[in-house]
Structure 1
Amino acid sequence: MQFTPDQITILVLLAGVFVLLVWGRWRYDIVAFGALIVAVLLNVVPAGKAFEGFGHPATVIIALVLVVSHGLAASGAVELLARHITNAGRSISTHIAVMASVGGLLSSIMNNVGALALLMPVDIEAARKAKRSPGLTLMPLSFATLLGGLVTLIGTPPNIIISTFRERTVDAPFQMFDFAPVGIVLAVVGIAFIALVGWRLIPTPSDDSSASLSTFKLDDYIAELTVNQDSSIVGMPLLDLEKACQDGDLTLLNVIRGKNRLPSASGWIQIQDGDVLLVETAAEALDKFVSEHKLSYVEADHQREKIEGTGLELVEAVVRPGARIEGRTSANLSLVDNYGIWLIGIQRNGRRIASRVRRTPLSAGDVLLLLGPQQRIHAFLDAMGLLPLAERGLEVNASGKAALATGIFATAIAASSVGWVDLSVALALVSTLYVLTGIVPIKQLYDTIEWPVVILIGSLIPIGLALETSGATNVLASGLVNAARDLPPWAILTIIMALTMALSDVLNNTATALVAAPIAVDVARSLEVNPDPFLMAVAVSASCAFLTPIGHKNNTLIMGPGGYRFGDYWRLGLPLEIIILAVGVPMILLVWPL
């Protein structure tokens, strides 16, 4: 293979992007946008076409799908459905089959991260009621939502990218349900394997990594201390007490007097005999503080109820990938001063971080224990990109909006499917009607769009085009065909599918599809066969990231709540990927012949 200087430049640039994405030191959108700027400076992407990716149909459709997904979720449609299908009395296999089927169905019509975010609290609540670890069911649920995305055009971003790529290369995009014949079979087979056999391959979570009733043991974080008559803090102003707690490496969460809590803004109020201090600290600092100031421990039973009785609420939440809080600490966010929220504890990879919680940078998948005013904490979760691990309450009129949201969406998809209106226009119409009817409040409209994904796609599309126009994909495809020249086309298709699947296990699935699609088409052209099965193979394999927690955001989201470690995923993921290959290749060739 002989590469030109431009081809070498673009390939080295892409290799650098892959290394940085796998390393994870910088967020994927920053890496992709930085690579685009470098490509322009090196003249491998023309300056006049540098930002065409942001107006590309795939970018627009993916952004609109995110708005529509949020509308379906906010209407209460999904949660109403989930409440009616959960039953803590079912066997694990039956529970997984039901939840996975619902997850697969939902992710076929909405963003699969959104589908998991709605069902994960339901699954955790079912595990608590059944007194078993959620780690036995969260991984099956995550994998099922990935499988469900294979069914329709809008089920997952790679399908949208492959469709628009086909439009450019074959003059016709894939339609809404062109993915269904292959996708439905793979989803059904995959979910059946997970429910009957696969969940048994998941390592049994340890008691301390994924408790059945609560992710956190409050006694390890929060203590109630009674002020005695001879205590040194009697008569001390509240402001001075806060400083004394800080000096002792404690955080004063609240002072309870009788049945009321003292207002934190009133620093002049003096501490009295009988007051109860609610503090957060590591155990080693607590005993020293109690002894030094002659305080007494309060019985620790029913702490959640006691705390909530003061107007505060304890919430367990997981950090979403790309959340505003990711990579930052409680200290530099000044959570207490700016939001009135306390970070009480952190669990990471199933293990509790017990010391210097306020100084620990937060990572995607971390489970946080937060304490804050009941009327404020859920707005804080939404603003920071955190997913609560408990079911939210539904308003009485939620079902009305649920029916409206579902009706609008179904009508638009039907109109697009029969060719009355283009899919992007249909989704734009749905988004507009959701705003006008209040299903998606206008203040939340732009927050529903996952801008890092938009930046990633808009940045990589021009680089992918440069990969094609430079002839690099043709050289790579020719090299692959020559290396496998003694193999039949179906075997080469299998190799491409396996390589794409392996790449998706360590890279964002969108980036994988953007890079693999042009190579797959050039391989098909070199073999002088129909490119459609090769494009469909890339669409399927780019979305089947089951081996690691970093291959897809859904896998990252379940890591903390499920108590999983990095090496746990392949135990279920590897046989599942083998099944996808074994069933997927013949199905693709049956529906899309060479």
Structure 2
Amino acid sequence: MGTDLILVLLLLGAAVVMFVMNRPRMDAVALIMIAVLPFTGVLTINEALAGFSDANIVLIAALFVIGEGLVRTGVARHMGDWLNAKAGDSQTKMLVLLMLASGVLGAFMSSTAVVAIFIPVVLRICQNTGTAPSQLMMPLSIAALMSGMMTLVATAPNLVVNAELMRQGGTGFGFFSFTPFGLPMLVIAILYMLFARRLLPRGTVLTGVLGQANLQTWVAQYGLAQRAYRVRIMADSPLIGQKLDDLSLRSSGVNLLAIEIGGRFSTEVIRPTAYTVLEAGQIMLLDVILPDVEIEALREKFGLQILPLGDGAYLTESSQEIGMAEAIIPADSPLLGQTVLDARVRSESGLTVIGLRRGKRVFDQDLLEEKLKIGDTLLVTGFWSDIRRLQSGTAELVLLNLPAEMEEVLPAASKAPHAVAILALTVGLMISGLVPNVHAALLGCLLMGALGCIDMNAAYRSISWKSLILIVGMLPFSLALQRTGGVELAADAVTAIAGNASPRMVLGVLFLITAMLGLFISNTATAVLMAPVALAVARDMGASPYPFAMTIALAASTAFMTPISSPVNTLVVGPGNYGFGDFVKVGVPLSLIVMAVSLVLVPIILPL
């Protein structure tokens, strides 16, 4: 063993120790290694920095941006809402659908991002169904890790292994080369978790709204449930062609909150103004402070068709566009002494007063004619942009409470069809091979920005620079170990361990080493180190490199055994209230199952 190799191994060992201690943070360790490796004389500084120009680094960054486009447009959340509706109160059905949804979505975007998206969805589901979060959080993380086995771009280790394979003269894997392994693995994981959930802690059932009011709370508190209507303007309606200012709906006890206009692919919700001209077919969202008999008279008078509200109470299905807030009347407010009708809050702020509370008393039918007093609490509704302006403070009102739903408003909800189309185009280009994968991903990013799914600031924020720096910092080790004979030494050690065993047993040894190394350092760093070793073993044995490369990729995604094996696991520790032992007793058996299935499937699908 030469001096150069000893120095490289010492630096690698130091990096592993710092990874385990998490001091300093992983990306800082990677930068330290980039700076120190050239002093060994094995690499030049340009070679140590070469990872920054690697096409796969750009590809990973671009995939983060495309994933953020899916988040900002609500594609990911719609999937979560869908599974909530489909599962109902069945915890078994919820577990299956949750793992399927996160597994499928994670095939096209970062598994870490998938878990981050679904955590609040799962918490809402647990609160609504009385399920302890600990029963669903670990299944979520396991499915997200399994999604890394679904496609070439599903996780960084796949791209790292594929890049090493191509550097050594191979043609690389196709976009769906991983799918024959990932789909069975996901199904097995779901079946396993239906049994293994008994090993999870029962945890605490969530009740109520955690520290913040929500729209449903206010609907009940202010008695709004029976006041909401969706009505369509019929072709013979006398409202057609009239301006809202000429109708005086407010003085009649009718608040027009918004107008829905149906588009070819989606519905647009617009803000009504005094100059808005009504047209046939438009749908009006109304808050009506009238008895039911007058509602029917209003329908007949104006030629309206009453439509169902759907599952949402008081138009909360439109909560991506329309929200509520509570505000109080300060001592120096010019609204003091005025009635709600005379105050004309809407003309000043764009917000409509739909509720009035004084102490414990809530005003209902007499809302419009009640004179305002100091300390009165007004419930206002309107578009979120108007509510945000209220946050800056006005002389008339002081913001008191904002609902939890405000944090869930999607910045580009109307662009969901565009985001899905862009994702389909990007994946199609990758599958077709018309352009390199990185080129397809860059085109997808540009289209996301051009069509308004994401802006530049959000795009930069979406990229996990920590992950990219980690990969860039570990790549020089691969080159350094090859130059100093470290890769061949490791390959010889693997061969010695396996002895005269069959190639399948050698794959098992490689899988086990990769999975065990992943207990201490990130699965991406593990893939960087183990991919060249596996390919060297294949070369020494005169075997095809593809099953060896695939084994490393699958093993790198088998990071179920500890909460620090992957950021995906770390994310669910808090919400699931898990301990270290919970991951061990659930993750170790699953890892052994995945290894066994891999050793059966890999030689069959990718012959040795």
**Normalising by the residue count of structure 2, what TM-score does the alignment of the two structures yield?**
0.68
Instruction: Tell whether the 8 Å contact from 1:36 to 1:463 is kept in structure 2 after alignment.
Output: no
Instruction: Tell whether the 8 Å contact from 1:121 to 1:390 is kept in structure 2 after alignment.
Output: no
Q: Determine helix, strand or coil for the equivalent of 1:110.
A: coil
Residues 1:310 and 1:578: Cα distance change in structure 2 (over 3 Å): farther
Within the alignment, does 1:414 sit opposite 2:428 as a pair? yes
- The worse-fitting range, judged by mean Cα deviation, of 426-435 and 444-453 is 444-453
1: CA distance between counterparts of 2:604 and 2:417? 38
Q: Determine helix, strand or coil for the equivalent of 2:43.
A: coil
Q: CA deviation at 1:262?
A: 9.7
2: CA distance between counterparts of 1:403 and 1:200? 40
Match of 1:268 in 2: none
Within the alignment, does 1:507 sit opposite 2:506 as a pair? no
Match of 2:89 in 1: 90
Q: CA deviation at 1:47?
A: 2.2
Match of 2:47 in 1: 49
1: CA distance between counterparts of 2:582 and 2:432? 44
Instruction: Map 1:192-591 to 2 at 5 A.
Output: 192-194=191-193, 196-205=194-203, 207=204, 211=206, 213=208, 259=328, 392-394=408-410, 398=413, 400-591=414-605
Q: What is the CA deviation profile of residues 109-145 of structure 1, one whole-angstrom value per residue up to 9, with x for unaligned ones?
A: 1111111111111111110011121111011011101
Match of 1:105 in 2: 104
> Aligned partner of 2:106: which letter?
S
Q: CA deviation at 1:81?
A: 2.2
Match of 1:19 in 2: 17
Q: CA deviation at 1:48?
A: 2.8
2: CA distance between counterparts of 1:520 and 1:121? 40
Q: CA deviation at 1:426?
A: 0.5
Q: Determine helix, strand or coil for the equivalent of 1:545.
A: coil
Residues 1:486 and 1:127: Cα distance change in structure 2 (over 3 Å): same
Q: CA deviation at 1:484?
A: 2.2
1: CA distance between counterparts of 2:92 and 2:459? 39
Within the alignment, does 1:173 sit opposite 2:187 as a pair? no
Within the alignment, does 1:74 sit opposite 2:90 as a pair? no
Q: What is the CA deviation profile of residues 373-423 of structure 1, one whole-angstrom value per residue up to 9, with x for unaligned ones?
A: 978x9xxxxxxxxxx99971457x72x411111101101211221121111
Instruction: Tell whether the 8 Å contact from 2:8 to 2:40 is kept in structure 1 after alignment.
Output: no
Q: Determine helix, strand or coil for the equivalent of 2:168.
A: helix
Q: What is the CA deviation profile of residues 167-211 of structure 1, one whole-angstrom value per residue up to 9, with x for unaligned ones?
A: 1113312121111111221122112222x2121221222x4xx64
Q: CA deviation at 1:66?
A: 0.5
Instruction: Tell whether the 8 Å contact from 1:533 to 1:593 is kept in structure 2 after alignment.
Output: yes
> Aligned partner of 1:470: which letter?
T
2: CA distance between counterparts of 1:93 and 1:143? 16
Larger-gyration structure (1/2): 2
> Aligned partner of 1:66: which letter?
F
Residues 1:95 and 1:522: Cα distance change in structure 2 (over 3 Å): same
Instruction: Tell whether the 8 Å contact from 1:521 to 1:534 is kept in structure 2 after alignment.
Output: yes
Q: Determine helix, strand or coil for the equivalent of 1:154.
A: coil
2: CA distance between counterparts of 1:154 and 1:481? 30
2: CA distance between counterparts of 1:8 and 1:426? 41
Instruction: Tell whether the 8 Å contact from 1:513 to 1:538 is kept in structure 2 after alignment.
Output: yes
Q: CA deviation at 1:42?
A: 2.0
Residues 1:478 and 1:126: Cα distance change in structure 2 (over 3 Å): same
2: CA distance between counterparts of 1:72 and 1:89? 25
> Aligned partner of 1:535: which letter?
A
Q: Determine helix, strand or coil for the equivalent of 1:137.
A: helix
Q: Which runs of 5+ in 1 are unaligned?
A: 219-257, 264-297, 300-308, 312-338, 341-371, 378-387
> Aligned partner of 2:22: which letter?
G
> Aligned partner of 1:198: which letter?
A
Match of 1:5 in 2: 3
Q: CA deviation at 1:506?
A: 2.5
1: CA distance between counterparts of 2:430 and 2:565? 31
Residues 1:31 and 1:373: Cα distance change in structure 2 (over 3 Å): farther
Residues 1:469 and 1:575: Cα distance change in structure 2 (over 3 Å): same
Instruction: Tell whether the 8 Å contact from 2:42 to 2:483 is kept in structure 1 after alignment.
Output: no
Match of 1:130 in 2: 129
> Aligned partner of 2:191: which letter?
A
1: CA distance between counterparts of 2:331 and 2:491? 71
Residues 1:373 and 1:480: Cα distance change in structure 2 (over 3 Å): farther
Residues 1:114 and 1:217: Cα distance change in structure 2 (over 3 Å): closer
> Aligned partner of 1:590: which letter?
I
Q: CA deviation at 1:470?
A: 1.5
2: CA distance between counterparts of 1:123 and 1:104? 15
Residues 1:547 and 1:374: Cα distance change in structure 2 (over 3 Å): farther
> Aligned partner of 1:447: which letter?
R
> Aligned partner of 1:487: which letter?
A
Instruction: Tell whether the 8 Å contact from 1:124 to 1:389 is kept in structure 2 after alignment.
Output: no
Instruction: Tell whether the 8 Å contact from 1:32 to 1:456 is kept in structure 2 after alignment.
Output: yes
1: CA distance between counterparts of 2:510 and 2:593? 16
1: CA distance between counterparts of 2:441 and 2:5? 38
Residues 1:442 and 1:524: Cα distance change in structure 2 (over 3 Å): same
Q: Which runs of 5+ in 2 are unaligned?
A: 214-326, 333-358, 361-376, 380-390, 393-398
Residues 1:538 and 1:212: Cα distance change in structure 2 (over 3 Å): farther
Q: CA deviation at 1:216?
A: 7.1
Residues 1:144 and 1:466: Cα distance change in structure 2 (over 3 Å): same
> Aligned partner of 2:505: which letter?
A
Q: What is the CA deviation profile of residues 268-288 of structure 1, one whole-angstrom value per residue up to 9, with x for unaligned ones?
A: xxxxxxxxxxxxxxxxxxxxx
Q: What is the CA deviation profile of residues 210-260 of structure 1, one whole-angstrom value per residue up to 9, with x for unaligned ones?
A: 645566799xxxxxxxxxxxxxxxxxxxxxxxxxxxxxxxxxxxxxxx945
Q: What is the CA deviation profile of residues 534-562 of structure 1, one whole-angstrom value per residue up to 9, with x for unaligned ones?
A: 11011011111111111111111111111
Residues 1:11 and 1:90: Cα distance change in structure 2 (over 3 Å): same
2: CA distance between counterparts of 1:426 and 1:80? 25
Q: What is the CA deviation profile of residues 479-520 of structure 1, one whole-angstrom value per residue up to 9, with x for unaligned ones?
A: 221232132221121111012112213211110100011111
> Aligned partner of 1:542: which letter?
A
1: CA distance between counterparts of 2:580 and 2:331? 44
How many residues were matched structurally? 437
Instruction: Tell whether the 8 Å contact from 1:148 to 1:187 is kept in structure 2 after alignment.
Output: yes
Q: What is the CA deviation profile of residues 31-71 of structure 1, one whole-angstrom value per residue up to 9, with x for unaligned ones?
A: 01101211112222222312111111221111111111101
Instruction: Tell whether the 8 Å contact from 2:68 to 2:459 is kept in structure 1 after alignment.
Output: no
> Aligned partner of 2:437: which letter?
L
> Aligned partner of 2:121: which letter?
V
1: CA distance between counterparts of 2:405 and 2:595? 34
Q: CA deviation at 1:476?
A: 1.4
Match of 1:332 in 2: none
Q: Determine helix, strand or coil for the equivalent of 1:170.
A: coil
> Aligned partner of 2:60: which letter?
I
> Aligned partner of 2:549: which letter?
L
2: CA distance between counterparts of 1:373 and 1:157? 45
Q: Determine helix, strand or coil for the equivalent of 2:408.
A: coil
2: CA distance between counterparts of 1:79 and 1:211? 21
Q: Report sequence identity in percent.
A: 30
